[in-house]
Chains A and B, each alone.
Chain A
Amino acid sequence: MEKTPQIGLRLQGDVSVIDIKGDVTPIAGPLIEAAYREATSSGAKKILFVFAHDGYINSGGIAILIGILSESKKHAQTIRITGLSAHFQKIFGMVGLTKYAQIHSSERPPWPPSSA
């Protein structure tokens, strides 16, 4: 019933960009987690999630992102988010995700300086 989302991983300088097109629900979980693991195994310290502006995100999808944010702390990674509609920016704020991942309007957000 649910359509499989399209997840892509690309490099933008030293930033690993994970593109998410489609619904963010538990169905998307393994694909998003696989892209995150691939970025992590390549040594990524800066990861940008690019959501589709018209995508649907449910609470199960939020749980997937929480799992990734939890993992990112162990790897000392910085996560940024862009592409969200105003509604899902509000939802992410309600849930508290914005404490752990800043939301930006640009695909080139500011990043903390890289450690040597």
Chain B
Amino acid sequence: MSAPLHGLVLTGGRSRRMASDKALLAYAGETQLDRAVRLLKAQGISAWVSVRPDQVDEPARARHPQIVDAHVDAGPSAGILAALAAQPAAAWLVLACDLPFLDEATLAHLIAHRDPARLATGFRSAHDGLPEPLCAIYEPAARAPLEAAVAAGKTCPRRFLRHSEVALLDLPRPEVLDNVNTPEERRSAAAALGGATVTRPVRVQYFALLREQAGRSEETVDTNAATPGELLDQLRARHPFTLPREMLKVAVNGDFAGWDRPLAAGDAVVFIPPVAGG
């Protein structure tokens, strides 16, 4: 009789290389956090979000049930341990939130080949053959040894899996767990996913110099741009805009927004040239 399985999305990473919150990065208009939650729910399991104590009130995370880290500076192991402690009789399918290529088939494969008699079930990395710790099922019995490893300062979950009794599977598709840590990797991921992404209609309004250069005051564009910044880059191919992005601001749905705000179908976007009131 195997332990009931829950899903845990890790979102506590500091994203130093990306310089922005990886959980909130969007591909095809869906944040990585929402995407991971959706993939878990598609397997019929509940989805929890692992957060650091200072992330509890962040709005995108607050929409989901949360498990708060108890360990400080233990990296992903802190989130895994907090989940195992919160529901000691449950097993946890742990997902990093920055796996844009992960798909339902891979998760279904993992669940179908789960071995509840081992401490964990996971995949072999397509790059180095080592266990992939952040798309893996951790059984209740993993709690005590992982706790001991963290207490000894060995916080790396990959190291833990290498030295434990785990079931390792080959990946159905080798690139499916490639993660995305830098803006460059993100751009190539977005390009690779481009063929599979659907475009969404977005309404763009133009004022002043941008209105004259676009030759219209508004248009609806079908775009796969995930953010206003990407949308602006795409629109430069259509219109002879001269103002650099540093001189523009952007508003989405009637208020100022960040260039990395995820875009959704039906959003109204306005690029704001330097103002000159008075």
Asked if chains A and B come from one complex, the reply is no
